[in-house]
Chains A and B, each alone.
Chain A
Amino acid sequence: MAVLLSLVVQAGQMALVLLLAPLLTGLVRRVKARLLRRRGPPLLQPYRDLWRLLCKEVVLAENASWLFRATPYLIFAATWVAAALVPTFGRGLMFSWSADLIAIIALLASARFFLALAGMDIGTSFGGIGASREVMIASFAEPAMLLIMFSLALIAGSTQLSTVATYMASAEVGLRVSLGLALVGLAIVALAENGRIPVDNPATHLELTMVHEAMVLEYSGRHLALIEFTSALKLLLYVSLIACVFLPWDLAPPGAGPAAWAIGILAYLLKLGACACLLALFETAIAKMRVFRVPEFLGAALMLGLLGTLLLFVSRSL
């Protein structure tokens, strides 16, 4: 019975991230529009977009291979699994031990690997430019992310996200320099990985600036819907990650009752809302940078991660 219940809770987490991901994207768009004194699309617009795309036929380029058709499903599954492994409303869920932070980063790397390959499959110059720039950004963002993860793991003594969240919510964590460095670094990586301003612009198809959009230019119909959904899930994943490490309050403990879960979900919604507003505010306040400035921007995250890790090697209390 207990096994069944924890299975249901785990399934609930998987469903929750799936349900909330488009909402988060809608919220960011809405807040951004309001900040620019536009009315903006309704909150539920991303759901409608996804449904419309899902119901359309796929127009496939003539020389597309099986890899091009399989990639949307693969990257959706990898991102979904990764998102479901990040604690949202509760920690210590049934399968939370099956992959740690390193594995979550690597799952996202797999998704990017296949998406970059799919971008090169048709043999157009846009696909190539997108894939080439994406791996350039990733080759900075991924080590930065790993080093930030090293800092967190050294503080909490584990790479297991549930354990990290438990430790961060406890009283013994205190204020640390390395945590501050990790937070700034993580925010930079999150911006880059999700293709947000100042690295990439999610709202544009302007050819000179695009990275992610160039890779997926040949996709249409349900494939495109899955890729958009994956982007939304990835944004939700990063927001949940920041929330569960740096705002670890009101996470339901393992084996808690429905009341704790309800509080956890409510707290999670509030955290998502706050992060969405911050993201929108940041994006309206800053301009997009040239593509070759991106390595400098991400290099800062890399150095912050390295500095944080180094501090922790020197002293466990920094």
Chain B
Amino acid sequence: MSEAAALPAPEPALDPALTVGPAPATAGRPLLRLSDVHVYYGHIHALQGISLEVHPGEIVTLLGANGAGKTTTLKAISGLHHPRQGSIELDGQEITRVPAHALVRRGIGHAPEGRRIFGRMTVLENLQMGAYTRSDRAAVDADYERVFTLFPRLQERRSQLAGSLSGGEQQMLAIGRALMTQPKLLLLDEPSMGLAPILVEQIFQIIHDINRQGTTILLVEQNALMALGVARRGYILQTGQIVLADESAALAQNDEVRKAYLGG
């Protein structure tokens, strides 16, 4: 955790040299494995047999149009909406039916779509909520330092009500709060939504830094270009099914992906 202090401040632009990950870890046990996951909202068949893997140390991105099932996939993983069929494994252990609050202790951190920070609580209280399940005082304190190093703005505004923060600051708080849960796997749902381009680059640089500090990340994004830039591999979702899975570089070159998500 202390290495966080030594990290350089987020750069305005993403360094292309950093975005090329090491060779894909196809061998070894995946940290997260979804096998044939089906999720329903009432009669709506939202996820129609999703299978995917995230290996330790990776950033994997999940791309797709609105309503393709990206958020639903994350909700299934973090236990907010259990699948009707199929299985989800974390570190080789079945977690398909484990309730969301218990999965936090097992190492799943989820920064949900729309930030969902606690607006009527202070910035610090939001971060304290992130550490809700933890009793290791020293490590928690070290993680506050880590979050404040990643997001100096949060330290400045620690006693302000979270609802009074700007959109970008709220997103930082949402990510910082999820980091306070000490996740093995961090789920990020549209962290760039509604942010100015300069902030988007900053957020992506921080996602990269968090990953380099050892946190595995599953990233859902509308901004496919940025997401493929930071991720090692990607999955393309379409109406509840995975239609394409490949290395980020290959996806970025793929004609259909370019047409659908990269604007040509």
Same assembly: no
Please report B residues at the A interface, Cβ cutoff 8 Å: none
